[in-house]
Structure 1
Amino acid sequence: MSIKTRLLLSYIAMIVVPVVCFALVASLLGAFFLGESFPHGTGKEPGKPLFRQTQERRDELFAGLAFLARYDAERLLQQDVLAETDEELRRLGGALMLAKNGAVLFASPSLEQADWAKYMQPPAHDERTRRLPPWSSKGYAVETHSFAFADKSEGTLYFLRDDSPAFTSGVSFFAAMVVSFLAIVGLTNGVLTYLVSRSIIRPLYALKQAAHEIKEGNLERPVLLGRKDELGELGEAFEEIRVRLHDSIRLQLQYEENRKELISSISHDLKTPITGIKACVEAVLDGIADTEAKREKYMRMIAGKSVQMDRLIDELLLYSRLDLNKLPFHLEPVDIRAYVADCVQELRLEPRLSGVHISAAGTAGEPLIVMADREKLHRVLMNIVDNSLKYMEQENRRLSIQLEATADEAIVTVADNGTGISEEAMPYIFDRFYRADRARTTATGGSGLGLAIVRQLVEGHGGRVWAHSEVGRGTSIHVSLPLQKGTGGEADEAHSHY
C-alpha cells in the first residue's frame, strides 16, 4: 500500500471512527443521564426517560389534589391525606403547601418556614406557574391553585416542583458529551497518527542507519525494508547504490591489484632483454669482442633484444588502451568469408610460415556479414597464428583455418598440430602475462599478452573466444562473431572490400 493511500485512509478513519464512537457514547450517556429503561411489570414505562416519568407522576399527584380541592375541599383538612401525598412528592422532587385565608395549614417538612412567605407571593397577571430564584438550596417552580372551603373561606394550594435535578442532568449530559467528543477525537487522532507515523518513521530511521553505514564505508550490510510503497522503492534505490559502491570499490581494488601485478610483470619482462643488451655492451667495452665477427655477433644480439623490447612495449601499450577502453573500434559490415580467405592467402606468403602447411575450409559460399574493425580483427588472427608457431616444434607443421556459421554467429577456428597445452593451464591461457612454458616463450620472445589481447579485441567486437587442446596433438582457438540480420547477397557484397 502506498503512503498516499495510507494517509488517505487515515484521514477517512479520523472522520468515520470518531463519528461512530461518538454516536455509541452519546446513546450510553443519554441512557445514563436522561433516563433508563425499565422492564415490563414494574409500574414504570419501559424506554421513557426517568426524569420525564418523574414529572408526569408529580403532575398526576398535583392534579389529584386539585380535583379533591374542587369537589371535596374539606378532606384537605385531614393531615393524613396531605402527609401521605407529601411523602410521595418528596421522593419525586416536589413539595406541598396549603393555606386558608392566607394562613398556612400545612407545609412540607422539606420547606423552611422562613421561605413560606416567598412561596406564597401572588403570581403575576395571567401567571399560574412562576419560577423562584434559588434563595435556598432548592430552586422551586411554584404553581398555585385557589378554591373555596365549605364555609366560603378562601383556600390556596401551592404545588412546588424542584426541576434542578433535570437541569443538572442536562448540564452534566452536555458536559459529558463535549468531554467524550474531545476525548474520542483526541484518542482516535493520536492512535492513527502514531500508527501512520510509525510506518513512515521506522523505515526512515532504517534508511538513516543505512546512509550512516555507507558513509562510514561499511558496504556489507544490505538495506532490506521489505515494503512495496514509496519508501520501499527508496530502500531499493539505497540497496542498488550500496551494491554499486561495493562492486565499484571491489573492482577498484582489483584494478589496483592488477596494476601492481602488471608493473611487476613489465619489470620482469623488460629486465630480460635489457640484461642481454647490457651483457653484449659490456662484452664489447671489455674487449671480449676483439674481432669483427664477434662484434657483429654482439651487435645482432643487441638488435634482436631491442626488437623484442619494442614489440613488448607495443603490446603493453595496446593492452593498456584496451583495458582502459580507450582504443576505438571502427566497426563496419565485413564479409567474414572473403576476409578469412584473404588472411589465409596472406599467411601463405608470410616468410615465417614458409615451412608450415596452411589449409582453409568454409571460405566459399554465400557472404556472412559481421560488424568488425578490419585492422583489429587482423591483429586477432595474427596473434593466434603467432601463438601457434611457438608450440609447433615437429618437422611436419600444419595450420588449419576453418569458418563455420550458426544461426546467430560466425565461428573462426585456428588449429595447429603443436605440443598442446596441459589441462591445468587451459583456464589461464587468456590471462595477461600467463605462459604455459616460461622457458620456451622467453626463448622465442613471447610477452604473455598475445592471447590476452585476442580476448580483449574479440570481446570489443561483441564476440567470444575459447580454446581446446590436447597435449601432444595440438591446440584449437575458436573466435565467434555475431552475424548481422537482414543483410546478404548484393547488398552485403557492396559493403565488403574483399
Structure 2
Amino acid sequence: MFTTKNLSPNQLSAFTALILSIPIGLGFYIVRPDVVISVSAFLITFAGSYFLIRFVLQWFIYRKIKLIYKFIYQTKASKKEEMYYKYILPQKSIDEVREDVEQWAEQQRKEIAVLKTNEAYRKEFLQNLAHEFKTPIFAIQGYVDTLLNGALENTEIATRFLENTSKNVVRMVNLASDLDEISRLESGEQPLYKENFIIQDMIREVYESLSIKSSQRNIKCTIKKGCEAPIAVFADKEKIRQVIINLVANAIKYGKKDGHIVASVYKTDEKHALIEISDDGIGIGEEHLPRIFERFYRTDRGRSRDVGGTGLGLAICKHIIEAHNHVMHVRSKLDIGTTLGFTLDIKKE
C-alpha cells in the first residue's frame, strides 16, 4: 500500500506537485479540449510546483533540521559534515531524521545514567577516602596532644603512645602509596615487564613470606592436590606476586582460625591458566560480590577496618590483572568461604 510516511523531501515535493498539476491539467482540457495545451499546463505547473515546494522544504525546514543536527553533535562542522548536511541530509525522510534524533536522545539518556552512577561512586569514594585518612589523623592528634599535655614525663605511656602514633603514620603512608599505585595503573603509567615463571613456585614463596601471619591463626596453606605440576605463565612477575600476596593475606585475615587456604592452578586451554585462592572463612554476602573490587568497599560481618589494611588491596589486584588483559572473579557463600581467582597467559616460547 502506498504511503507518504517515508518519502524523502524530493519525493514529497514531486508527489505534492503531481497532486497540484493533475487538476490544473484536467481543468485546461475541460475549458479547452486541446491535449497539447493541457499537457503543457500540467508540465509547467508540475515543474514550478516541484521546485517551489522543494525550495521551501530544503531551505526552510531542512535548514532548521541542520541546526538541530549541529546542536546534537555540538561541534563545528568539518568539510565532510558540511557535505553531509548539504547533499545527504536533504535526501532523508522526516522519519529517518526522527530516528536519528531518538537514537541521540537514547544515547544521551544512557550517558546521563552512567554519569549519575559515576557521581554516586565518586561521592562514596570521597566519603570513604575522608574516613580512611580521618581515622589515623585523629588518632595521631590525640596521642600528640596527650604527650604535649604532660604524658611525656611518663616514659612508659610516652613510648606506647609514640608506638601507636608510628602505626597510624605507617597506615597513612600505605594508604597514600596504594592510592598512588592505583592512579598509575589506571593511567597506564606503570609498564608491565613480562617474563616466564612457574606460578606454583611463586605461590609457595608467598606462603612462606606470610607464614608468620598464617601460623598466628593456625591456618594451613597448601596447593590443591592435582595442581602441583608446574605451569609456566607469561606475566609481570612482581605485580602478580603482589596480587597473590593480597589474596593470600585477605584469606588469612578473613579465613577461620585453624582453617585452610588452598591455591588451585589449572590450564583452561592451550593459551591460558586459571589461578584461584580459596579460604574456608566467613564468606561474603551475595549482595556484596559485585562491588568487592571497588576502592574502600568493605562488607559487614567482620570485614571491617578493625582487621587492618587500606581497603584498596582488591582494587589494586583488579587493575593489575586488567592491565594483563584478563579479569578477576569471585565466588563466595556466607560461613562457607571465598574463592578469588584470575587468568593469565601461558608461557611464551
One fold, TM greater than 0.5? yes
**Aligned letter for 2:207?**
L
Displacement of 1:291: 3.3
What is the aligned counterpart of 2:293 among 397, 415, 430? 430
Structure 2: segments with no counterpart, 5+ residues = 1-5, 75-87
- The verdict on how the C-alpha distance between 1:231 and 1:410 changes in structure 2, with shifts beyond 3 A counting, is farther
Corresponding residue number in structure 1 for 2:308: 445
- The verdict on how the C-alpha distance between 1:357 and 1:365 changes in structure 2, with shifts beyond 3 A counting, is same
- The verdict on how the C-alpha distance between 1:389 and 1:5 changes in structure 2, with shifts beyond 3 A counting, is same
Structure 1: segments with no counterpart, 5+ residues = 32-176, 216-226, 494-498
What is the aligned counterpart of 2:282 among 405, 419, 422? 419
What is the aligned counterpart of 2:158 among 280, 295, 315? 295
- Which of structures 1 and 2 has the larger relative contact order (alpha carbons within 8 angstroms, sep 6+)? 2
Task: State yes or no: 1:472 paired with 2:330.
Answer: no
- The verdict on how the C-alpha distance between 1:229 and 1:329 changes in structure 2, with shifts beyond 3 A counting, is farther
Q: Give the secondary-structure state (helix, strand or coil) at the position aligned to 2:147.
A: helix
> Contact 2:184–2:190 at 8 Å: present in 1 too?
no
Write the distance in 1 (CA, Å) between the matches of 2:103 and 2:254: 48
What is the aligned counterpart of 1:381 among 232, 244, 249? 244
Write the distance in 1 (CA, Å) between the matches of 2:151 and 2:98: 76
Corresponding residue number in structure 1 for 2:82: none
Write the distance in 2 (CA, Å) between the matches of 1:228 and 1:332: 51
Displacement of 1:301: 0.8
What is the aligned counterpart of 1:403 among 261, 265, 271? 265
Q: What is the root-mean-square deviation of aligned Cα atoms in Å?
A: 4.2
Deviates most, 416-425 or 349-358: 349-358
Corresponding residue number in structure 2 for 1:189: 47
Displacement of 1:304: 0.8
- The verdict on how the C-alpha distance between 1:234 and 1:268 changes in structure 2, with shifts beyond 3 A counting, is same
> Contact 1:312–1:447 at 8 Å: present in 2 too?
yes
Task: State yes or no: 1:364 paired with 2:229.
Answer: yes
Displacement of 1:239: 5.9
Displacement of 1:2: 10
> Contact 2:10–2:91 at 8 Å: present in 1 too?
no
Task: State yes or no: 1:268 paired with 2:131.
Answer: yes
Corresponding residue number in structure 1 for 2:207: 347
Corresponding residue number in structure 2 for 1:57: none
State how 1:217-256 maps to structure 2 within 5 Å.
231=92, 245-256=108-119
Displacement of 1:311: 1.0
Write the distance in 2 (CA, Å) between the matches of 1:230 and 1:350: 71
Write the distance in 1 (CA, Å) between the matches of 2:247 and 2:321: 12
What is the aligned counterpart of 1:313 among 158, 164, 176? 176
Corresponding residue number in structure 2 for 1:390: 253
Q: Give the secondary-structure state (helix, strand or coil) at the position aligned to 1:425.
A: helix
Scaled by the length of structure 2, the TM-score of the pair is: 0.71
Displacement of 1:264: 1.7
**Aligned letter for 1:265?**
N
> Contact 2:200–2:228 at 8 Å: present in 1 too?
yes
Corresponding residue number in structure 2 for 1:133: none
Whichever of the two has the greater Rg, that structure is 1
Displacement of 1:459: 2.6
Write the distance in 1 (CA, Å) between the matches of 2:323 and 2:100: 31
Write the distance in 1 (CA, Å) between the matches of 2:287 and 2:102: 39
